[in-house]
Amino acid sequence: MAKGFTLSVLPWVYLAKYNGDGRWEEVFEEKPHKTPLEEEKLSEEERNILMEKRNSFPQLPLVNYTTQYGFGCFEGLKAFPQPDGRLKLFRPDRNAHRFANSMGGLKMPVFPEEMFVRAVSEVVRRNHNMGFTVSYDAEWEKDYFITGHSVYIRPFTYSEPAIGLGLSSYPWVVIITTPVGAYFQPGNSKAVTTDKIRAFPGGTGWIKCDANYTVPILAKKEAEAEGYMEAIFLDAYGKKYIEEGSSCNIFFLLKNGVLVTPSLEDTVLPGITRESVLILAEEMGIKTEERRISIEEVLSDAKEVFVTGTAAGISYVESITHKDKTTVFCEGKMGEVTHQLLITLKGIQYGAIEDKHGWMYQV
């Protein structure tokens, strides 16, 4: 079974090319493959060769705005296996909307939202029907699906051939899928603030832009080298207010019972899981606030901390270290509110709890 992200691209992929007159020319492409059972029996070398073929897109140019300048954007969403054997997508309409906003923010032609949802669903469906999928495992219920697997879906843009500073006028949209497991490894949920800056006011922090992830990757790897799970970014100017984790939004349950998450403004990514958690918390009778929150307020007043994202789901943070001062939350364990939000969200996604909001989309 998959553990975290792996580049095990499933056979069916999707490509769409903007032709300049308002239309997108789309194609579903079946990459080289054997049967799922035959692929399981391949040696590591044989599997690597097959995966290289699946990850080859010769129609896409090597030199372009995306490869040279990080000029592109992407999405991440999941299809969750259900007890009845089906797969369901979690809120793909919201990913479609954010993808459109990101493309518009980069001043490229916008991929239609209804085409996004349809293409994502069809790629997952084709792979699922061939047996390239993730099956429901009742064992996941024992830890409230924390170790549950899913199909990760990565739509992304890729520019036309180009060099020099310019805008992408004829982009591709590509969609690939891969099985995934838990993102964060168990046993370490410590976080540390970083001096690196993720986003500046007036920049691209609100866009799920390729180039935005270089600094977070560096910060996260530095944090991991020091024994932490996660790096936490502060604001660009005063380095006083918390904004995000390395690749996820962040929440704080204060001692007065209020659940706070940094307001979006234009430096924080509008996460779909973030949005969903705010809705679920309010339904649980928890007061929520979206506002600026300082690192000092968190260290003195927070009693639970957790991060959210498509990959992270809901993952608690046991402690935060800032300028050599460490504050531990809930004695280093998952808090009650964090746990309730986790089992509710995961329950909806895996079909164990009724989906009252219509968030789950049948593949």
Tell me, what CATH number does 217's domain have?
Answer: 3.20.10.10
Residue 17 belongs to what domain range?
12-180
Residue 362 lies in a domain: no
Question: With bands split at pLDDT 50, 70 and 90, how would you rate the model's confidence at 311?
Answer: confident
Same domain, 204 and 237: yes
Average pLDDT, the chain: 95
Same domain, 305 and 237: yes
Q: Is 172 exposed, middle or buried (0-12, 13-18, 19+ CB in 10 A)?
A: buried
Q: Is the pLDDT of residue 184 over 80?
A: no
Among 180, 201, 232, give the residue marking a domain's end. Answer: 180
Average pLDDT, integer, range 209-224 = 96
The C-alpha atoms of residue 253 and residue 307 are separated, in whole angstroms, by: 12
List, for residues 242-271, the tens digit of each pLDDT value: 999 998 999 999 999 999 999 998 999 999
Q: Is the pLDDT of residue 73 over 80?
A: yes
Same domain, 286 and 231: yes
What pLDDT is recorded for position 5?
67
Residue 57 lies in a domain: yes
Among 180, 212, 227, give the residue marking a domain's end. Answer: 180
What pLDDT is recorded for position 142?
93
What one-letter code names the amino acid at 22? G
Q: What is the pTM of this model?
A: 0.95
What pLDDT is recorded for position 6?
74
The C-alpha atoms of residue 328 and residue 26 are separated, in whole angstroms, by: 51
Same domain, 55 and 146: yes
Same domain, 173 and 262: no
344, 347, 348: which is closest to 358 by C-alpha?
348
Question: With bands split at pLDDT 50, 70 and 90, how would you rate the model's confidence at 183?
Answer: low
Same domain, 164 and 260: no
Q: Is the pLDDT of residue 1 over 80?
A: no
Tell me, what CATH number does 83's domain have?
Answer: 3.30.470.10
Average pLDDT, integer, range 144-168 = 96
The C-alpha atoms of residue 22 and residue 119 are separated, in whole angstroms, by: 18
What pLDDT is recorded for position 331?
95
Q: Is the pLDDT of residue 210 over 90?
A: yes
Among 121, 155, 180, give the residue marking a domain's end. Answer: 180
Q: Is the pLDDT of residue 56 over 60?
A: yes
Residue 360 lies in a domain: no
Residue 4 lies in a domain: no
What pLDDT is recorded for position 2?
47
Residue 355 lies in a domain: no
Same domain, 206 and 122: no
Residue 159 lies in a domain: yes
Same domain, 165 and 212: no
Q: How many domains does the chain have?
A: 2
Dihedral, 167, 169, 173, 174 alpha carbons, nearest 10: -70
Same domain, 43 and 149: yes
pLDDT greater at residue 5 or residue 64: 64
The C-alpha atoms of residue 220 and residue 11 are separated, in whole angstroms, by: 31
Residue 357 lies in a domain: no
Same domain, 259 and 154: no
Same domain, 29 and 170: yes
Same domain, 173 and 31: yes
pLDDT greater at residue 181 or residue 231: 231
Q: Is the pLDDT of residue 3 over 60?
A: no
What pLDDT is recorded for position 7?
80
**Longest C-alpha distance within the chain, in Å?**
59
Question: With bands split at pLDDT 50, 70 and 90, how would you rate the model's confidence at 4?
Answer: low
Question: With bands split at pLDDT 50, 70 and 90, how would you rate the model's confidence at 182?
Answer: confident
What pLDDT is recorded for position 181?
85
Residue 5 lies in a domain: no
Question: With bands split at pLDDT 50, 70 and 90, how would you rate the model's confidence at 59?
Answer: very high
